[in-house]
Structure 1
């Protein structure tokens, strides 16, 4: 019995699948399920990647004035700094709005506002993570190193604020 070839492979995952099929990568997890008449598969590919050359370590620090600062360890490029003003504005705006709605007794509207705030912050975080990856991709064999984030909420001015 021969191996079935995938009938539809999205462009974004073609390279990892080719690496898996040629033996250059390993499959670490596999899920198969059926949706109507179609069979679908999901799997994790572990790829050793391009190991030729030196790695460039890019340190990423999370802060208050700059929500994010990234720079290569060797100082070979200008730092990537992102102001935290947008996050501060969103948090203050929605906190004020929630407080007003709470005083008015509009609990359903208050909860809806909390959900909007969560989605805006999630979107900003997603955009920010993509920008960090884009910044790091300018270096040879980049390795992104994050600071230890344990206890990060304890030092935040927003400690105790829940959406």
Structure 2
């Protein structure tokens, strides 16, 4: 089983009312944890013991959340104080259809299971139909409302012995080589660099104008763009792996990528901001869903070792050349060597 979160946008007719319920939810949780802290133990209680405008099912979930937070207080000695409005509904009290979601809310003192128009993709519907549903979290972000549903999705199994190696970089975000002989280059490093530079210049201008709120919004927008790029690249990689019958994907262990990656001084800032780890996580969970195992390998010298004679050479620009006569694209060399790295040894770990 694979743990995932499905994010669904929906459209409440009274967003101010949902916002009020979200504030009430965190008020109840904070109050219960403070009471438990003063007593030294979490008291036995039901929804009848809690004064709140929340529906009983949601209030019960708030009690469970308060218990969880109180256990953390006992372990860490610090009581976290919730501030951002949120609203949790357990899997027995919400319903999702092709174009809507429904969950209980309280209106004028009466609890009613209310249906909201929602946007669901075909992938969302497929995962919801096949998965074990968990909690639903209602949040508001930049004026938009989302339902985040945690699910445990079943994973399939692939029995072939084909392998794929992935080399990550800035100029070419991901280069893949498979044991069937396929080579693919994913992403556009030049475009990425151009977009990042535009965000950086815009932030600099806003900084001179002391517009801190606008800088934060711009940072969130840039992160969303980067996340979207990583989602698209990881989807293309996993689709290619499925088409080629790959059973194992080998990726670099990223512990020291910022020290060992090939980069110039002008690319250093891009390197330190690009989310290599996020891309690997996206590849990992999408591959697991289709039964492809993902493992980490030691990337030491994979970009320098000749695939033919194993002699180490440093690539010049985009070409790798060896004295034995071998020459090729340097990212292809890295991906090929990663693919050939042994899976079961002290340097290879499950991703």
2:198 is aligned to: 93
If you compute each CA radius of gyration, which structure gives the higher value, 1 or 2?
Answer: 2
Contact 1:69 1:80 in 2 (8 A): yes
| Pair 1:57-2:163 in alignment | yes
Instruction: Select the residue among 117, 137, 152 that pairs with 1:43.
Output: 152
1:4 is aligned to: none
1:152 is aligned to: 257
Instruction: Select the residue among 123, 131, 156 that pairs with 2:236.
Output: 131
For residues 6-34 of structure 1, give each alpha carbon's deviation from its aligned partner in whole angstroms, at most 9, with x where no partner exists.
x98954466x66xxxxxxxxxxxx77558
| Pair 1:116-2:221 in alignment | yes
For residues 60-111 of structure 1, give each alpha carbon's deviation from its aligned partner in whole angstroms, at most 9, with x where no partner exists.
1101221110111x36123334331222112111111101110111111111
CA distance in 1, matches of 2:136, 2:206: 45
Where does 1:70-109 land on structure 2 (aligned, <5 Å)? 70-72=176-178, 74=179, 76-109=181-214
Contact 1:71 1:80 in 2 (8 A): no
The 1:93/1:33 distance shift into structure 2, 3 A limit, reads closer
Contact 1:101 1:109 in 2 (8 A): yes
Contact 2:166 2:251 in 1 (8 A): yes
TM-score by length of 1: 0.66
The 1:59/1:105 distance shift into structure 2, 3 A limit, reads same
> Matched residue pairs, number?
135
CA distance in 2, matches of 1:33, 1:81: 35
Which has the bigger relative contact order, CA under 8 A and spacing at least 6? Answer: 1
CA distance in 2, matches of 1:34, 1:89: 38
C-alpha RMSD of matched pairs (Å): 3.3
Give 1:139 shift: 1.2
Contact 2:163 2:247 in 1 (8 A): yes
Give 1:114 shift: 0.8
Contact 2:175 2:183 in 1 (8 A): no
State the 4+ residue runs in structure 1 displaced beyond 4 angstroms. 7-10, 30-35, 159-162
